[in-house]
A and B are shown apart, each in its own frame.
Chain A
């Protein structure tokens, strides 16, 4: 790891100020991605501004069906929140399958979303739940937030402070893990609202990161059942091929995971 300076602000303003004064600063949340990258010398932050000790960025609030999760909330806190489980258990279940217990006790929802790993789980949930990504200066619709592989709409120095969404009537996430990393090789989050609106978001498989599958959405809006997925075609040409799986296999997984998610929702 290269030399770095560590800062521990206790408010969002202080964090932003520290960042603006840093040469090549980075926000630090759980460090589960960032520290590993720094140890491999693939990142060289002059300053680390730790976001885990800012009270207003932590915790989960549920008001009716409206949910707000502070960006510095850990995967473990999401996984074990009774209030959240009551309105949207799919998100708790998703969090419970991220990495291992160590990772879940350190990693945060804000860090995961800001990082936008194309195989991460949360981005699929954000897109399918039509979540708002709340920052220190604005609110960004999930649809506009995830802009490419490891790319987001965040400006330099902008902090995700929370994410917010209305819990849908039904939702579920099904993930087929990569045998090595256990990130998603294909993960599908489905959500259906009382008004019949259906969203199907896919992670781990798209060559440009997380995406919604319109064909699945249309089929499921007409017939919310696992059988409806059978005839939908998944175009493999926009999907990833790598060491672990071909695009054709990922296309198959998207169908299977969608089917299973609808059955589970």
Chain B
């Protein structure tokens, strides 16, 4: 592997600038003449806009202009769209209600933007925003997705009667029902998956710069996929054609999915820059982020799992209602469908599965992908159900899982996915050993003597990463292909730039992608630069989400490296008058195998550019590009075990041990992988123990609009994690990698809830398991 190659624990190159405050985020960008935008937002969850009077605001000091939705509509700026078409089971397309970047007639959630003030300073813009008089006619409100489907409830969009967006199904209903009817045992549970706020450390921001000389726009924005942002803004929102729009996502401080989407603010900043003639910058404040960042999860499900007399699962039936909020965000439709129901087989051999999913509009912020996106929902549902079943059947949780594990690969599930590789028993064994599962009884007895209730719980998760074969997702409704691109540019002195369509917003690509190059050519990692996040510098790319940068983004780099290597060998062979097939690359040199002849890497590169002595017909230069379209998803999997102690007097839960045994395929940088697992676990534990978005059901006001009320996990909520990996390489990509970015958030919530319910002897507990809920459930059990 070498000290900087594949598999090495290379310290993150990007951390120097992040840790010394030298990162360059969108809000750090400053251009001459730049002004500041503040949005006027609806204080109502549902209302008609009767009128907007900005006369007083426009006359205030420093104000350049106040713009509203009517002007935006008049200028032909399009609706925000959802880019994944889902059809209901009756064949009708999903009901996409109009989402205006600035609401011109109706507001549908608290925080919906209605106007924008551009002023010399943020404070002056705020002052003026307070002076914009919006006359609202409030309408009745619905925030609960189950209630929203009922007759007689407030209607959000005329296109969607009963607020139903689609009623979709996957799997064989008849076979599933028949298996349930014939079952020896059926476990039934109701599963709630709580709504979460993404809380990236860096709030969203946008800087729109219109250059009237070239009729050209530049947009700095906090995006996980700047090329997709450019595509959507030009193709659907009519901001500008692609060649007239440059999108730059510089350093981005965390996304977790919430920065995939194109939000109203970046469109409005670009449009406002043209309208006002000045560059316009907007930076979200934290309360605005709570109000307007796309939330995650929010499912209500009922589950039936059928078993035969030997405790083998014969069928799984799931009915889910998913709250998508007031508007359909960019990928909102695929999260509770193809990223969710396709994973309902988990690690188990289940002959029949049927899932029905209804998605619903409510007067709440839009809901879209959040770390894990659909897969945490599937895993939580399945693993809570398995635990419940084990308790009902009187089996140990490990035994029930073992009986049902898939053991041969490839494995075709009844819900589309074809698992290519895995060894679930191996992760289970590793996790149980690391957790000293067998010693639990003694630990529980010891805790009992201290008056504490100790519990243990496990979760065996699988996820689908490496999104995704383009033709496959196209056939399922995706509006884009999910390949990735790379370009490797060897400079004349041998240093190397890699342009990637993947985007790093915390993942460490500047290090791991460079490790691939160092590994291949034996050049120092410091001679390799990873370039990403700028549509002018990087060829078209699809960005980073769904743990796809390793499996797809790196595969594209590998393809480009293959081409560079081939050409480099040709040049070296020519220089040394050797046969191309005898050339090997080692430690920064191109050698003729079995001889002492060699050419240093830089000399070969220089030869490519001087072009004085190249093989006949060869083009000068050394730069190669590649597009990589995966042939399948990848399937990371693992087993997590959580041990807790609950204080029965207060319901306070302490996580005393957390073990994660993952199979991520081959690993490029174990240190970065561990970091990803730690972060994912913190987020999953946050969901299970602490986090939850609450709206007032009558008014639609967001009750958790600051950290005073929205509980984030902190260091002292978490134990020191025990993480390990046991790898079955992915057979479907050149590096054998699977992806590790979301696993922690996917696998941990059910392990934690299974542990708490084990401790208190009451299976009825919802996330987040707040002290009061745990206390009440513990008392109800006694």
Q: Which listed residue, B130, B712, B770, B775, touches A244 by the CB 8 Å rule? A: B770
B775 touches A252 (CB 8 A): yes
B123 beta carbon closer than 8 Å to chain A: yes
Binary contact readout A145-186 vs B (1 if CB under 8 angstroms, 0 otherwise)? 000000000000000000000000000000010011101000
Q: Which listed residue, B123, B127, B650, B703, touches A243 by the CB 8 Å rule? A: B703
Q: Which listed residue, A3, A183, A243, A249, touches B775 by the CB 8 Å rule? A: A249
B236 beta carbon closer than 8 Å to chain A: no
Binary contact readout B648-661 vs A (1 if CB under 8 angstroms, 0 otherwise)? 01111000000000
Q: Which residue of A lies closest to B127 (CB)?
A: A2
B711 beta carbon closer than 8 Å to chain A: yes
B710 beta carbon closer than 8 Å to chain A: yes
Indicate whether A244 sits within 8 Å of B704 (C-beta atoms), given known contacts A253-B650, A256-B649, A256-B650: no
Q: Which residue of B lies closest to A245 (CB)?
A: B772
Binary contact readout B116-138 vs A (1 if CB under 8 angstroms, 0 otherwise)? 00000001001100100000000
Residues of A within 8 A of B775 (CB): 249, 252
Count of B interface residues, CB-CB < 8 Å: 24
Alpha-carbon distance A249/B123, docked complex (angstroms): 43
Residues of A within 8 A of B776 (CB): 249
* Chain A stretch 174-220: residues in CB contact (< 8 A) with chain B: 176, 179-181, 183
Residues of B within 8 A of A181 (CB): 707-709
A82 beta carbon closer than 8 Å to chain B: no
Q: Which residue of A lies closest to B694 (CB)?
A: A243
Indicate whether A249 sits within 8 Å of B703 (C-beta atoms), given known contacts A1-B123, A179-B711, A243-B709: no
Residues of A within 8 A of B709 (CB): 180-181, 243-244
B626 beta carbon closer than 8 Å to chain A: no
Distance (Å) between the CB of B137 and the closest chain A CB? 26
Distance (Å) between the CB of B132 and the closest chain A CB? 15
A41 beta carbon closer than 8 Å to chain B: yes
B690 beta carbon closer than 8 Å to chain A: yes
B83 beta carbon closer than 8 Å to chain A: no
Alpha-carbon distance A1/B124, docked complex (angstroms): 10
Residues of A within 8 A of B477 (CB): none
A246 touches B772 (CB 8 A): yes
B771 touches A179 (CB 8 A): yes
Residues of B within 8 A of A180 (CB): 690, 704, 707-712
Residues of B within 8 A of A3 (CB): 123
Distance (Å) between the CB of A240 and the closest chain B CB? 13
Binary contact readout A224-252 vs B (1 if CB under 8 angstroms, 0 otherwise)? 00000000000000000001111001001
Residues of A within 8 A of B770 (CB): 179, 244
Q: Which residue of A lies closest to B775 (CB)?
A: A249
Alpha-carbon distance A250/B361, docked complex (angstroms): 35
Indicate whether A244 sits within 8 Å of B772 (C-beta atoms), given known contacts A179-B690, A181-B708, A256-B649: yes
Alpha-carbon distance A179/B650, docked complex (angstroms): 13
Distance (Å) between the CB of A183 and the closest chain B CB? 8
Distance (Å) between the CB of A34 and the closest chain B CB? 15
Residues of A within 8 A of B712 (CB): 180
Distance (Å) between the CB of A39 and the closest chain B CB? 9
A176 touches B650 (CB 8 A): yes
Q: Which residue of B lies closest to A1 (CB)?
A: B123
Distance (Å) between the CB of A105 and the closest chain B CB? 19
Residues of A within 8 A of B652 (CB): 176
Alpha-carbon distance A40/B707, docked complex (angstroms): 14
Residues of B within 8 A of A249 (CB): 651, 771-772, 775-776
* Chain B stretch 129-185: residues in CB contact (< 8 A) with chain A: 130
Alpha-carbon distance A249/B775, docked complex (angstroms): 8
Binary contact readout B742-778 vs A (1 if CB under 8 angstroms, 0 otherwise)? 0000000000000000000000000000111001100
A243 touches B704 (CB 8 A): yes
Residues of A within 8 A of B690 (CB): 179-180
Binary contact readout B696-716 vs A (1 if CB under 8 angstroms, 0 otherwise)? 000000011001111110000
Residues of A within 8 A of B711 (CB): 179-180
* Chain A stretch 61-91: residues in CB contact (< 8 A) with chain B: none
Alpha-carbon distance A245/B709, docked complex (angstroms): 12
Distance (Å) between the CB of A171 and the closest chain B CB? 22
Distance (Å) between the CB of A160 and the closest chain B CB? 24
Q: Which residue of B lies closest to A181 (CB)?
A: B708
Alpha-carbon distance A1/B771, docked complex (angstroms): 36
Q: Which residue of A lies closest to B126 (CB)?
A: A41
Residues of A within 8 A of B703 (CB): 243
Residues of B within 8 A of A2 (CB): 123, 127
Distance (Å) between the CB of A253 and the closest chain B CB? 6
Alpha-carbon distance A22/B772, docked complex (angstroms): 46
Q: Which residue of A lies closest to B647 (CB)?
A: A256
Interface of B toward A, CB cutoff 8 Å: 123, 126-127, 130, 287, 649-652, 690, 694, 703-704, 707-712, 770-772, 775-776
A-B pairs with lowest CB-CB distance, top 6: A180-B711, A179-B711, A249-B772, A181-B708, A256-B649, A245-B772
Q: A41-B130, A181-B708, A244-B770 are in contact. List 16 more A-B contacts (CB 8 A).
A: A2-B127, A3-B123, A40-B287, A41-B126, A176-B652, A176-B771, A179-B690, A179-B771, A180-B707, A180-B710, A244-B709, A244-B772, A249-B651, A249-B775, A252-B649, A256-B650
Sample of 23 A–B contacts (CB below 8 Å) = A1-B123, A2-B123, A40-B287, A176-B650, A176-B652, A179-B711, A179-B770, A179-B771, A180-B690, A180-B707, A180-B708, A180-B711, A180-B712, A181-B707, A181-B708, A183-B708, A243-B709, A244-B709, A244-B770, A245-B771, A245-B772, A249-B775, A252-B649
Interface of A toward B, CB cutoff 8 Å: 1-3, 40-41, 176, 179-181, 183, 243-246, 249, 252-253, 256
